[in-house]
Amino acid sequence: MCETVRNCRDLASIDADQSVTLHLGNQGRTMGFYQDHIVPHLISLAMRKETFAPYRRRTVSAASGRVLEIGIGSGLNLPFYSAAVGQVIGIDPSPRLLAMARRAGQGPAPEATFIEGSAEAIPVATGSIDTVVTTWTLCSIPDVAGALREMRRVLKPDGRLLFVEHGRAPEPGVRAWQERLTPLWRRIGGGCHLNRAIGDLIADAGFRVERLDTGYMRGPRPMTYMYEGIARPG
């Protein structure tokens, strides 16, 4: 309700275009607050589920040398790196998640450096990384093909991409639900897509997939079809 007659007159004098602009501006501020302040905490909480631990252990413990972790988030992978890792460089676009990762990196983990940035433009020299690690990250990168090309660029010729991701399921019925749900899921889940064909995306970016294991993790099928494997620059 308007507090004064003057305020009501001012609002009534706004034309239709201005009214739409005000509405969208408020919605944008609301979504911006949600994405910047709420989503990072929801992601960190959701990814702490114990069902993810075996995947993390298999994937992350295989890393060696100088490691680039794409979408390091709140640093949940850091305890799984072995003594074969000399340095972890973690990149993530969320400053709030990176603040959590820095706290996680103060424990008995490899030396870690954290970069606020995008996987689509990795600020790392070409051919300088032994292992790239991605865990449940490729689903949310806007230009995922460009990001994978960047990962291939920074890897040494004998380097490896270690990945565990969720994505497009093989059954038509499950895939139909993934297509239906993805537009809403992207808005509430930090840009997460349920319907990306992870194996094809990696191969199309110029990687040679050496191993690819697929199957459902426990949970709703549209969200839990897993791709786990190893790829090398082609």
Kindly state the DSSP code that residue 134 receives in the 8-state scheme: E
Give the per-residue pLDDT at 18: 29
Structure tokens at 160: 């490896």
Q: Can you spell out the DSSP letters for 68-89?
A: EEET-TTSTTGGG--TTEEEEE
Q: What is the pLDDT along the chain (234 residues), one digit of tens a residue?
A: 332 222 333 323 323 332 222 233 443 444 454 455 455 545 555 565 778 899 999 999 999 999 999 999 999 999 999 999 999 999 999 898 899 899 887 666 678 999 999 999 999 999 999 999 999 999 999 999 999 999 999 999 999 999 999 999 999 999 999 999 999 999 887 889 999 999 999 999 999 999 999 999 999 999 999 999 999 998
User: With the C-alpha atoms ordered 11, 16, 17, 19, is the resulting torsion angle positive or negative?
Assistant: positive
Q: Which residues contact 180 (CB under 8 A, 6 or more apart)?
A: none
Say what the pLDDT of residue 31 is.
43
**pTM of the model as a whole:** 0.80
Give the residue among 82, 129, 73, 64 at the shortest CA–CA distance from 102: 73
Domain 46-233 sits in which CATH superfamily?
Vaccinia Virus protein VP39 (3.40.50.150)
Q: How many CB atoms lie within 10 A of CB 71?
A: 23
pLDDT, position 19: 28
The distance of Cα 64 from the centroid of its chain, to the nearest Å, equals 21
**Dist CA 123 CA 12 (whole Å):** 50
The pLDDT value given to residue 37: 46
Q: What is the pLDDT of residue 3?
A: 29
Q: What 3-state DSSP class applies to 204?
A: helix
Instruction: Kindly list the domain boundaries of the chain, sorted by start residue.
Output: 7-39, 46-233
